[in-house]
Structure 1
């Protein structure tokens, strides 16, 4: 019983070490997916407010809406231009509801204007692009003014660039550390079998024949570790869906999550294969004195 435990303990240690490593890499991958999705959500909700001249008829307002919808920078969803209209009455009702103050009582009039909200295509997600859109919209007959939140786009782009840079550096350092640690763990696991390798050489087994079972086990360990890591990540995602409101908007792309799982599986098998190959080669070329 004790001998069997000693036999399987190194393999268990390798699997646990690789599982933890892949789990941490998977968390970094999830953060990257969430960051990219957040960027897409922000870009999809960038809009320009277009305020119309007063005294326009419904027909004139509709003509302006069609003219704006035909612009190349207007975002489309399911083939429909994302241009919405809000009358000044609806805007006043919304303002009163949000603030609880009825300005009509002391002004006696509604100073607001009919407005259109234009969602901008991601291709124009820049400060310069929005300035050009603002200038172009203000040239449309019947448009009083076009506005947007200035400097917001630049701040978003700068912050996203910083986040991606920090994540990239962290993942790169993590990969180096993980490869070194897993490689050393596999070396220690094979250390107990160095005499088995030497015995196989003495009976005439070729190096390829000796390597084959070890490499197969390394690949299986890598794949098994990736499965465990994906299970733990799945638990994290499930808990996030339950307790973090709106997280489904950032983690709802199952194709990317499936790709992440595939990358973890491939990485686990590659690390398991290469580390095992390197360790086996070391013992295949070692002299009898070095085995002791």
Structure 2
């Protein structure tokens, strides 16, 4: 008899551990999606701000005028950064890319000095860049403004598309997460259906029977959320080490809100799932339990 009870306790303990692990893994996936959403805008800005606009300068422009132009550009609200590339530097970079000395072949350097401009993300769209291009060409030192129009359109279209896909994926993942946690809790309570029936037979009220199950469910949800948050903290740390330029988590308040939401989500899903599962077996007749 004692061995049977010990075996039953071990199975029950194993069921609890499985439940907590399952909940933590599902909440971890939800948390990863949350982190991705938090950084989606930052990733979008990173891509947009790396779209280069090249201002090709006239041959007779003096260095003093170039520096003055560069300062004027830096002072505008839409320019994030500028970099002056003289003819010699441009030639060296092209030689490195081509792998041959084209200057010796041609007998002269055909390249022109340029100012490479990086725009702020909110201005890195086709309409804004078209207006900025006209603004740049007004300067007397500028011969031509060059940028890849097709790339600008492609980046902006893909950012919108990815945002919609991400929102849809988040909604689907939440539904799947709810279903997985709900099924895990249902299986856990199914193994205790006879205990529920026995408590009913001795006259226990439904509220009295629900209380310990809901308490354990909330505890499992809380523990699962803590484990999920611990794993997410590891992901954040590794991301900061390996992808610092692309992904940052400087806004600790938002990360804290995400962790709190994971805990609340774990508590809510386990509470509602436990409530429905226990109520199901409270309504069943004794002969339907087998």
Per the normalisation by structure 2, the TM-score is 0.80
> Please, which of 46, 51, 54 is the counterpart of residue 51 of structure 2?
46
**Post-superposition shift, 1:204?**
6.3
Alpha-carbon contact 1:33-1:251 (below 8 Å) kept = no
Give the structure 1 partner of residue 139 of structure 2: 140
Match of 1:266 in 2: 264
Query: 1:276 Cα deviation (Å)?
Result: 0.9
1:284 Cα deviation after fit = 4.0
Moved more, 147-156 or 167-176: 167-176
Find the partner of 1:7 among 12, 23, 47.
12
Does the 8 Å contact 1:33/1:250 carry over to 2?
no
Partners of 1:241 and 1:84 in 2: CA distance: 27
1:249 and 1:33, CA in 2 relative to 1: closer, same or farther beyond 3 A?
farther
Size of the alignment, in residue pairs? Answer: 283
2:180 is aligned to 181
Aligned in 2, Cα 1:72/1:281: closer, same or farther, shift over 3 Å? same
Separation in structure 1 between the aligned mates of residue 257 and residue 107 of structure 2, nearest angstrom: 60
Q: Give distance in 2, aligned partners of 1:291 and 1:100.
A: 78
CA contact (8 A) 1:222 1:272 kept: yes
State the SS of the aligned residue for 2:145: strand
Call closer, same or farther: CA 1:250–1:68 in 2, change over 3 Å: closer
Aligned to 1:249: 245
Contact 1:96/1:102 (<8 A) preserved: yes
Deviation at 1:233, TM superposition (A): 5.1
Counting only pairs closer than 5 Å after superposition, residues 1-292 of structure 1 correspond to structure 2 as: 1-29=6-34, 31-32=36-37, 35-75=40-80, 82-198=81-197, 200=199, 207-232=206-231, 247-253=243-249, 255=252, 259-287=257-285, 290-291=288-289
116-125 vs 230-239, greater mean Cα deviation: 230-239
Distance 1:190 1:97, change over 3 A: closer
Deviations 1:104-125 (A, max 9, x none): 4344443322221221111112
Distance 1:179 1:106, change over 3 A: closer
- The aligned counterpart of 2:3 is none
Q: Is the 8 A contact 2:48 2:155 kept in 1?
A: no
Q: Which moved more, 1:176-185 or 1:201-210?
A: 201-210
How far apart are the structure 2 equivalents of 1:111 and 1:134?
23
Q: CA RMSD in A?
A: 3.2
Please state whether the residue corresponding to 2:79 is helix, strand or coil: coil
